[in-house]
Amino acid sequence: MSYSDKVIDHYNNPRNVGSMDKSSADVGTGLVGAPECGDVMKLQIKVNRETNVIEEAKFKTFGCGSAIASSSLATEWVKGKTVDEALAIKNMDIVKELSLPPVKIHCSVLAEDAIRAAIGDWKKKQASAQPVGAAVMQ
Amino acid sequence: MSTDVKVPQQLPATHHAAPQGVKLPIYMDNHATTPMDPRVLEEMLPYFMEKFGNAASRNHSFGWAGEEGVETARERIAKLIGATTKEIIFTSGATESDNLAIKGVAEMYREKGNHIITAVTEHKAVLDTCKRLEKYGYRVTYMPVQKDGLVDLEDLKRAMDDKTILVTIMAANNEIGVVQPFAEIGKLCRERGIIFHTDATQAVGKIPIDVNKQNIDLMSISGHKMYGPKGVGALYVRRKNPRVQISAIIDGGGHERGMRSGTLNVPGIVGLGKACAIASEEMSREAVQLAGLRDRLRDRIMSRLDETYINGSMEHRLPGNLNISFAYVEGESLLMGINDIAVSSGSACTSATLEPSYVLKALGTGDDLAHSSIRFGIGRFNTAAEVDYVADRVIETVERLRELSPLYEMAKEGINLKDVKWAGEAH
**Across residues A51-58, what is the average pLDDT?**
96
Are residues B409 and A19, on separate chains, in Cβ contact within 8 Å?
Answer: yes
What is the reported pTM? Answer: 0.91
CA distance B135 to B255: 29
Model confidence pLDDT, tens digit, residues B80-120? 999 999 999 999 999 999 999 999 999 999 999 999 999 99
Q: In whole angstroms, give the CA distance from residue B131 to residue B33.
A: 26
CA distances from B127 to A98, B37, B45, B188 (A): 37, 31, 36, 22
pLDDT band at B425 (very low <50, low <70, confident <90, very high): low
What does DSSP assign to residue B418?
G
Model confidence at B4, in pLDDT bands (50, 70, 90)?
very low
Taking one residue from A and the other from B, the number of pairs with CB-CB distance under 8 angstroms is 100
pLDDT in the model for residue B271: 98
Nearest CB neighbour to A1, from listed B7, B328, B403: B7
Determine the pLDDT at residue B320.
97
Query: How confident is residue B353, by pLDDT bands cut at 50, 70 and 90?
Result: confident
Q: What chain B residue is nearest to A110 in terms of C-alpha separation?
A: B424
pLDDT tops 50 at residue B5:
no
Strands (E), B223-275: 233-237
In whole angstroms, give the CA distance from residue A118 to residue A50.
18
> In the CATH hierarchy, which fold is given to the domain comprising B26-36+283-413?
Aspartate Aminotransferase, domain 1 (3.90.1150)
Cross-chain residue pair A103–B423, CB shorter than 8 Å: no
Domain with CATH 3.90.1150.10 in chain B: 26-36+283-413
Buried b (16+ CB within 10 A) or exposed e, B88-119: bbbbbbbbbbbbbbbbbbbebbeeebbbbbbb
Say if the Cβ atoms of B423 and A34 lie within 8 Å: yes
Min Cα–Cα distance to chain A from B372, Å: 8
Nearest-CA distance B127 → chain A (Å):
24
Distance (Å, whole) CA B404 – CA B408: 8
- Is A22 within 8 Å of chain B by CB? no
Contact between B172 and B142 under an 8 Å Cβ cutoff? The reply is no
Distance CA B1, CA B29 (A): 13
Nearest CB among A1, A2, A14 relative to B404 is that of: A14
- Residue-range domains of chain A with CATH: 5-120 (3.90.1010.10)
Q: Chain A partners of B338 at a C-beta cutoff of 8 Å?
A: none
pLDDT of B14 reads 46
For the domain spanning B38-279, the CATH number is: 3.40.640.10
